[in-house]
Amino acid sequence: MNTILRTGLLALLSWLLIAPAFAALDAKVVKQLVDDDSDQKIEAIAALVKTGTPEAARLLQALSDDALYATDSHIWLKAEDKVYDAVTGTEITPAPDDVDTVTINNRVRGTLDSALAGFKLFDPDPSARLAAAQSLQGDVGAVMIPALTLALQKETDSKVKPILEQLLAQANLKNPDVKARLAAVEGLTHSNSPNARGLLLTRLDPANEPDAAVREAAKASIASIDSRLAWTSALANVFSGLSLGSILLLAALGLAITYGVMGVINMAHGELLMVGAYSAYFVQGVFRNHFPGAQDWYLVAAVPVSFFAAAFVGMVMERTVIRWLYGRPLETLLATWGVSLVLIQGARTLFGAQNVEVSNPSWMSGGIELLPSLTLPWNRIVIIGFALSVLVLMWAIMQKTRLGLFVRAVTQNRPMAGCVGVPTSRVDTLAFGLGAGIAGLGGLALSQIANVGPDMGQGYIVDSFLVVVLGGVGQLAGAVWAALGLGIATKLLEGWAGAVIAKIIVLAIIIIFIQRRPQGLFAVKGRVMD
């Protein structure tokens, strides 16, 4: 930010050097600027800021750059290897000798830096004014009140104006006038910035604020800000919970199909997420090496690759291992756990044991700032939208296609479905491939917000099973509500009790719920033969 401000000021000073004439400054103020007393310097800086002229900006920039010189009778400034009279702005040739540099201490420099940033509040470019206003948010003193008042009167940009209002209130907190301080405290009541709360806290100390009315007003303002910040934090947790729930939904959708159709507890399901994530990493590498100009679109190309890679692994797993263990849950659990270890070791062999970097495309960088303390990242927004799109596609497959009809038939009554001609063996393979492919899409989404490594799927397998059991076996609607509810509840509880305690509480709630309602949120409709 300081670099932006400095560049703008240097551009302003360059224009000044080629300008035909300068408006003379007040000689008394200029002389006061080189006084040994810091209070006199600060008073002079305030007077120069109040003028708002380019000549004042040039003079203060020279002071900041240690390019202001003085003798008993004259004051000069140096810019672009030329020397100018500090009062009249006329060039002096030859340059004077034996002049002393005007020095400033840290207290004066802080005021000076704020003053220089204040001059950029009048820049024609709104982005430059926004940068200047944001740079002043850390610390702004009473010296800036005239400049901020004038800038606020002229400001028309909707992004800059609220910041200027807060800055003016912040500056007035140090105003000698009690009424001005009281108005500033009341003005900060409507702020959503955590910085405003910190400023008001300083007003509670009698050493900083001698007036009791201002202290009481500050206390009421802090309570109002705390209430809004609590709601903001809750909204942020809900959004984080939605993004976590979206990942869990993608992971659990596939598990809901395979567990619902075949009753298989697939302990390697988490590794199918890992296959999808590494597929995204592979496609990213292909685009970097062969299509660098289209790097931002690698993620779109990775969607089918992640789906089919995970689906292929899932179908191979079903054909070679799971098909021979139907009806033997313990053996299936142990066998799929062994498969998960094989997949993890295979990833370590191919890609290394360390995490790999999967970067966000540029169009997924940044976020939407709803409030000063609440920004919704684009990568999480895209993931939520992606999960909803996959959910709609899954619903269409399950409700509108022949495969979906067969899967629902096998889920509800496998023997009867076989009797009426449903190829249950083929349905098992296709359903397993479909569930694995959706898990691969979950890994693709996960690669945009988490580290990609060989063990990344192990942290999601338990939560995925919880979503399936809580939502109801084979029920898409149940999986949706369970995934989103589990994600939001986890994030809200994490903010209150920490990550570990939150997991324990969520697990206890689910256990109690399943004891009361074993069929889950949505029970399977239809008759099942024992």
Position 72 in a domain: yes
| Dist CA 198 CA 70 (whole Å) | 40
Q: Which domain holds residue 52?
A: 2-154
Same domain, 136 and 280: no
| In 4-146, beta strands by DSSP E | 68-70, 75-79, 82-85, 100-101
Sequence-distant (≥ 6) Cβ neighbours of residue 462 within 8 angstroms: none
Same domain, 339 and 439: yes
Closest by CA position to 394, among listed 465, 480, 319: 480
Looking at 436, 466, 496, the residue that finishes a domain is 466
Pairing of strands 75-79, 68-70: antiparallel
Distances (CA, A) of 161 to 74, 129, 135, 192: 41, 10, 14, 14
183 in Cβ contact with 175 (< 8 Å): no
Q: Is 75 helix (H, G, I), strand (E, B) or coil?
A: strand
DSSP string, 40-53: HHHHHHHHHHHH--
| Dist CA 22 CA 169 (whole Å) | 34
Position 97 in a domain: yes
Q: In this structure, what token pair is assigned to residue 518?
A: 């074993």
For the entire predicted model, the pTM comes to 0.66
Backbone angles phi, psi at 34, to 5 degrees: -100, 10
Same domain, 147 and 256: no
358-396 pLDDT, tens digit per residue, is: 888 888 888 887 766 677 888 888 888 998 898 889 888
| Dist CA 88 CA 23 (whole Å) | 7
Domain count, the chain: 2
Looking at 107, 123, 154, the residue that finishes a domain is 154
End-to-end Cα, the chain, rounded Å: 71
Position 346 in a domain: yes
Same domain, 242 and 138: no
Q: Is 268 helix (H, G, I), strand (E, B) or coil?
A: coil
Local confidence pLDDT in tens for the 530 residues of the chain: 444 444 444 444 443 333 334 467 888 888 888 888 888 888 888 788 777 777 888 888 888 888 888 877 778 888 777 888 888 888 887 777 767 788 888 888 877 877 777 777 877 888 888 888 877 776 676 767 777 887 888 888 878 888 887 788 877 877 778 888 888 888 777 776 667 777 788 778 787 778 888 888 888 888 888 887 778 778 888 888 888 888 888 888 877 777 766 677 788 888 999 999 999 999 999 998 888 888 888 999 999 999 999 999 999 988 888 888 877 878 888 888 898 899 999 999 988 888 888 888 888 888 887 766 677 888 888 888 998 898 889 888 888 888 888 887 877 777 888 888 888 788 888 888 888 899 899 899 988 888 888 988 887 887 887 887 777 765 667 778 888 888 888 887 877 777 778 778 877 887 887 777 776 666 555 544 44
CB neighbours (10 Å) of residue 116? Answer: 23
Same domain, 289 and 395: yes
Position 471 in a domain: no
Peptide bond into 94 cis (omega under 30): yes
Same domain, 28 and 136: yes
